[in-house]
Amino acid sequence: MAKERGLISPSDFAQLQKYMEYSTKKVSDVLKLFEDGEMAEYLQGDAIGYEGFQQFLKIYLEVDDVPSRLSLALFQSFQTGYSLEKTVKEDVVCLSDVSCYFSLLEGGRPEDKLEFTFKLYDMDRNGILDSSEVDKIIIQMMRVAEYLDWDVSELRPILQEMMKEIDYDGSGSVSLAEWLRAGATTVPLLVLLGLEMTLKDNGQHMWRPKRFPRPVYCNMCESSIGLGKQGLCCNLCKYTVHDQCAMKALPCEVSTYAKSRKDIGVQSHVWVRGGCVSGRCDRCQKKIRIYHGLVGLHCVWCHLEIHDDCLQALGHECDCGLLRDHILPPSSIYPSVLASGQEHKSSKTSQKNTDDLNLNTFEALRIDPVAHTHPLLVFVNPKSGGKQGERVFWKFQYLLNPRQVFNLLKDGPEPGLRFFREVPDYRILVCGGDGTVGWILETIDKANLPFVPPVAVLPLGTGNDLARCLRWGGGKRLEIVFLRDR
């Protein structure tokens, strides 16, 4: 069945992803070797035979001996229904198709992937593709989407609609500028291509694809997403939409820091419709009929779930719920300019100062935690434990303030340690394997911190020898044990 659809098996795809995870090569590097380098002898026009394909995998994956089963399955997958090139012989595959497919899977900015895939099929380098050539790119996108367990039946019409908007004059051709502009405004496509959302506090959602095991209703159109269907869910506020509704979604209401003096010190509830997982109101203890429509409200910070009618019975102040001892509410984080003690006479100037801050350099923000709490600084290695690390990262972004959770693959542990340097009584949680734990402990030793915070480990690696030696167990655990003596 998989070969009839032009797909390799899930196990083969998992093995391929594992190889790609440890490879440092880019598709563009390998392509140069085939176009005008030592691998040019394997090129037959824009096609390569099985021997050339094996050489492509060997160089790209940096593996001397790619399993024959995997290489043959991949080669055959490019010869079946997904290939539009009718002139390709049975013993060769289109090099552009192969390069396009792998470039969509590898890391990098979505914008760069869109440009690279466009230029792959722009043979005459005139910056124009006809509709059939663009279809080839979309076909490879559909392949990747299906491997990643996306609902292709919903993604296909979105991409088709995107193509209609690109070719607004019906000329049948698309320029590079039109292709990039359309791709950059198609949210589901950007998420598929691996868009790495950054915290901007400008109303931008941090989308991730999610398949729902229970009936869920779209926050935008309020119709059912469907049992087992896929939609997009915001990591910050749990605002949930159909793939096609993402472009029309209302702005994210979560702010991760106080933007004015009046917001400092007292945290208010931030209510979002839907997302009432428990199905029971925390105010009146009666059922919330979550299967009948988009009903109920949940607070992003304390995670209370209530009926719409119960909202008036609750005050505005939020205590951050069960995790209040570990959360840094937005009211505890504010721009340094607001702590200067100088009154800004012009409100416009004050607003501009806070809006223009480079908040990726955490020196622009100051932390004043709630008294007698122990804020948690979380470091996550997303690649640890297969998909576990990524899921843990998403979970902590929602449970805590996203500014407390750091992706180690982006900037390492130093930005987080600098951000928390002056925070009293904070604690550190390391989510990863033994190598990740050693990295964090070594960085703490070299950081010359005012005091050494207690460190906890959430084992996500393959061996987890440290956790086993300390008798915490070798896998992910709900109980967190603090290392008070390092």
Q: What is the pLDDT of residue 11?
A: 80
Compare 322 and 468 and report the one with higher pLDDT.
322
How far is it, in rounded angstroms, from Cα 396 to Cα 375? 13
**Short-list 298, 301, 265, CA closest to 402:** 301
Q: What is the pLDDT of residue 282?
A: 93
pLDDT band at 200 (very low <50, low <70, confident <90, very high): low
pLDDT band at 351 (very low <50, low <70, confident <90, very high): very low
Q: What is the average pLDDT score of the chain?
A: 80
How far is it, in rounded angstroms, from Cα 97 to Cα 137? 8
CA dihedral 166, 169, 172, 177 (to 10 degrees): -40
Are 243 and 158 in contact by the 8 Å Cβ rule? The answer is: yes
290-337 pLDDT tens trace? 877 889 999 999 999 999 999 999 989 999 999 999 999 999 998 877
Helix, strand, coil share of the chain (percent; to 5): 40, 15, 45
How far is it, in rounded angstroms, from Cα 139 to Cα 83? 8
Query: Which one is the CATH code of 10-192: 1.10.238.110, 2.10.25.10, 3.90.25.10, 3.20.80.10?
Result: 1.10.238.110
Question: DSSP letter string over 321-350?
Answer: GGGTTT---GGGEEEGGGGS-PPPS-HHHH
pLDDT band at 146 (very low <50, low <70, confident <90, very high): confident
Strand order in the sheet with 47-49: 43-44, 47-49, 92-94
Q: What is the pLDDT of residue 195?
A: 57
Q: Which two tokens stand for residue 30?
A: 């390998």
Q: What is the pLDDT of residue 90?
A: 61
Are 176 and 127 in contact by the 8 Å Cβ rule? The answer is: yes
Residue spans of alpha helices (H) in 248-360: 347-355
208: enclosing H helix or E strand: strand 207-211
Are 219 and 249 in contact by the 8 Å Cβ rule? The answer is: yes
**Short-list 455, 434, 433, 460, CA closest to 444:** 455
Q: Specify the residue for token string 């604690």.
A: 427
Q: Residue 468 burial (CB < 10 Å; 0-12/13-18/19+)?
A: middle
The listed range with the strongest mean pLDDT (10-19, 68-77, 123-132) is: 68-77
Residue 203 has pLDDT above 70, yes or no: yes
Q: What is the pLDDT of residue 485?
A: 34
Residue spans of alpha helices (H) in 378-452: 388-399, 408-411, 414-419, 434-446
**Mean pLDDT, range 337-349, rounded to an integer:** 50
Q: Specify the residue for token string 């060769």.
A: 92
How far is it, in rounded angstroms, from Cα 479 to Cα 240? 30
Contacts with 481 (C-beta within 8 Å, 6 or more apart), sequence order: 456, 457, 470, 472
213-245 pLDDT tens trace? 777 899 999 998 877 677 889 988 999 998 888
pLDDT band at 474 (very low <50, low <70, confident <90, very high): low
Q: What is the pLDDT of residue 104?
A: 83
Give phi and psi for 295, each to the nearest 5: -130, 160
CATH of domain 207-248: 3.30.60.20
List the beta bridge partners of residue 437: none
Q: What percent of the chain has pLDDT over 90?
A: 28
**Short-list 144, 118, 140, CA closest to 130:** 118
Residue 1 has pLDDT above 60, yes or no: no
Compare 201 and 57 and report the one with higher pLDDT.
57
Are 254 and 237 in contact by the 8 Å Cβ rule? The answer is: yes
Report strand pairing: 376-380 vs 405-407: parallel
Are 167 and 128 in contact by the 8 Å Cβ rule? The answer is: no
174-185 pLDDT tens trace? 888 878 877 777
Annotated domain spans of the chain? 10-192, 207-248, 374-486
CA dihedral 135, 125, 118, 159 (to 10 degrees): -40
What is the second-level CATH architecture of the domain 374-486?
A: 3-Layer(aba) Sandwich (3.40)
Q: Specify the residue for token string 């603090």.
A: 482
Q: How far apart are the first and last CA of the chain?
A: 54
365-369, 380-384, 405-409, 440-444 — which is least confidently predicted?
Answer: 380-384
DSSP designation for 370: P
Report helix, strand or coil for 353.
helix
Residue 168 has pLDDT above 80, yes or no: no
pLDDT band at 376 (very low <50, low <70, confident <90, very high): very high
